[in-house]
Protein backbone atom coordinates (compact mmCIF):
# COMPACT_ATOMS: atom_id res chain seq x y z
CA UNK A 1 0.00 0.00 0.00
CA UNK A 2 1.51 3.33 -1.05
CA UNK A 3 1.60 6.48 1.10
CA UNK A 4 -1.42 8.03 -0.65
CA UNK A 5 -3.45 4.85 -0.26
CA UNK A 6 -2.53 4.59 3.42
CA UNK A 7 -3.40 8.24 4.01
CA UNK A 8 -6.75 7.84 2.25
CA UNK A 9 -7.51 4.73 4.30
CA UNK A 10 -7.05 6.59 7.58
CA UNK A 11 -8.69 9.93 6.76
CA UNK A 12 -12.44 10.41 6.42
CA UNK A 13 -13.81 10.80 2.92
CA UNK A 14 -14.63 14.51 3.09
CA UNK A 15 -16.83 14.38 -0.01
CA UNK A 16 -18.98 11.67 1.59
CA UNK A 17 -19.67 13.67 4.74
CA UNK A 18 -22.43 16.21 4.43
CA UNK A 19 -21.98 19.38 6.42
CA UNK A 20 -25.40 20.82 7.07
CA UNK A 21 -25.99 24.44 8.01
CA UNK A 22 -29.47 23.36 9.12
CA UNK A 23 -27.99 20.89 11.62
CA UNK A 24 -25.62 23.56 12.88
CA UNK A 25 -28.47 26.02 13.44
CA UNK A 26 -30.63 23.36 15.11
CA UNK A 27 -27.79 22.51 17.50
CA UNK A 28 -26.96 26.15 18.23
CA UNK A 29 -30.60 26.91 19.01
CA UNK A 30 -31.62 23.79 20.90
CA UNK A 31 -28.64 21.99 22.41
CA UNK A 32 -28.44 23.71 25.78
CA UNK A 33 -32.19 23.55 26.39
CA UNK A 34 -32.25 19.79 25.81
CA UNK A 35 -28.97 19.24 27.67
CA UNK A 36 -30.13 21.09 30.80
CA UNK A 37 -33.33 19.08 30.75
CA UNK A 38 -31.62 15.69 30.54
CA UNK A 39 -28.11 16.23 31.99
CA UNK A 40 -27.39 13.53 34.52
CA UNK A 41 -30.34 11.40 33.37
CA UNK A 42 -28.56 9.85 30.41
CA UNK A 43 -25.02 8.47 30.43
CA UNK A 44 -23.66 10.11 27.27
CA UNK A 45 -24.12 13.76 28.25
CA UNK A 46 -20.45 14.51 29.00
CA UNK A 47 -19.39 13.23 25.58
CA UNK A 48 -22.23 15.14 23.91
CA UNK A 49 -21.15 18.41 25.56
CA UNK A 50 -17.49 17.83 24.64
CA UNK A 51 -18.57 17.09 21.06
CA UNK A 52 -20.65 20.31 21.06
CA UNK A 53 -17.61 22.36 22.04
CA UNK A 54 -15.55 20.56 19.39
CA UNK A 55 -18.17 21.36 16.74
CA UNK A 56 -18.24 25.02 17.77
CA UNK A 57 -14.43 25.33 17.66
CA UNK A 58 -13.24 27.26 14.59
CA UNK A 59 -10.15 25.00 14.44
CA UNK A 60 -12.24 21.85 13.98
CA UNK A 61 -12.24 20.57 10.39
CA UNK A 62 -15.49 20.80 8.44
CA UNK A 63 -15.82 17.00 8.14
CA UNK A 64 -15.75 16.67 11.94
CA UNK A 65 -18.23 19.54 12.38
CA UNK A 66 -20.58 17.76 9.95
CA UNK A 67 -20.50 14.54 11.94
CA UNK A 68 -20.77 16.28 15.31
CA UNK A 69 -23.62 18.58 14.29
CA UNK A 70 -25.44 15.65 12.68
CA UNK A 71 -25.21 13.50 15.81
CA UNK A 72 -26.16 16.37 18.11
CA UNK A 73 -29.06 17.35 15.85
CA UNK A 74 -30.41 13.81 16.12
CA UNK A 75 -30.27 14.11 19.92
CA UNK A 76 -32.14 17.42 19.84
CA UNK A 77 -34.79 16.49 17.28
CA UNK A 78 -38.03 15.40 18.94
CA UNK A 79 -38.73 12.83 16.22
CA UNK A 80 -36.52 9.78 16.48
CA UNK A 81 -36.68 6.00 16.46
CA UNK A 82 -37.56 5.65 20.15
CA UNK A 83 -39.39 8.62 21.74
CA UNK A 84 -37.38 10.26 24.52
CA UNK A 85 -40.44 10.29 26.79
CA UNK A 86 -39.59 6.67 27.57
CA UNK A 87 -36.61 7.55 29.80
CA UNK A 88 -35.45 3.96 30.29
CA UNK A 89 -35.36 3.16 26.57
CA UNK A 90 -36.00 6.46 24.86
CA UNK A 91 -32.36 7.51 24.75
CA UNK A 92 -30.87 4.25 23.50
CA UNK A 93 -31.00 5.42 19.89
CA UNK A 94 -29.68 8.86 20.87
CA UNK A 95 -26.85 7.23 22.83
CA UNK A 96 -25.90 5.07 19.86
CA UNK A 97 -25.80 8.07 17.52
CA UNK A 98 -23.88 10.26 19.99
CA UNK A 99 -21.34 7.53 20.72
CA UNK A 100 -20.83 6.75 17.03
CA UNK A 101 -20.42 10.44 16.26
CA UNK A 102 -18.09 10.95 19.20
CA UNK A 103 -15.96 7.98 18.16
CA UNK A 104 -15.76 9.31 14.61
CA UNK A 105 -14.54 12.76 15.71
CA UNK A 106 -12.61 11.72 18.83
CA UNK A 107 -9.30 12.74 17.28
CA UNK A 108 -10.69 16.28 17.04
CA UNK A 109 -12.10 16.44 20.58
CA UNK A 110 -9.31 18.21 22.45
CA UNK A 111 -8.61 18.53 26.17
CA UNK A 112 -10.06 22.05 26.13
CA UNK A 113 -13.39 20.65 24.85
CA UNK A 114 -13.39 17.98 27.56
CA UNK A 115 -12.50 20.57 30.22
CA UNK A 116 -15.40 22.80 29.19
CA UNK A 117 -17.69 19.79 29.33
CA UNK A 118 -16.59 18.96 32.87
CA UNK A 119 -17.15 22.56 33.96
CA UNK A 120 -20.76 22.35 32.73
CA UNK A 121 -21.40 19.46 35.15
CA UNK A 122 -19.89 21.14 38.22
Walk along the chain (122 residues) and give the pLDDT tens digit of each residue: 444 443 444 444 444 456 688 899 999 999 999 888 877 777 889 999 999 999 999 999 999 999 999 999 988 886 655 555 555 556 678 888 899 999 999 999 999 999 999 999 88
pLDDT of residue 105: 97
Q: Measure the CA–CA gap between 94 and 81, rounded to whole angstroms.
A: 9
Q: What is the pTM of this model?
A: 0.76
pLDDT of residue 80: 54
pLDDT of residue 14: 44
29-38 contacts, C-beta under 8 A, 24 or more apart: 30/76, 31/72, 31/76, 34/75, 34/76, 35/120, 38/84, 38/91
pLDDT of residue 77: 83
pLDDT of residue 8: 41
pLDDT of residue 109: 98
Q: Measure the CA–CA gap between 30 and 18, rounded to whole angstroms.
A: 20
55-58 contacts, C-beta under 8 A, 24 or more apart: 55/24, 55/27, 57/110, 57/113
Amino acid sequence: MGNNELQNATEPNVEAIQYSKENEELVKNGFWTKMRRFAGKVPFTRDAVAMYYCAMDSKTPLWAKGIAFGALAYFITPIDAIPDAFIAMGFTDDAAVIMAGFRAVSSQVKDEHRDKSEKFFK
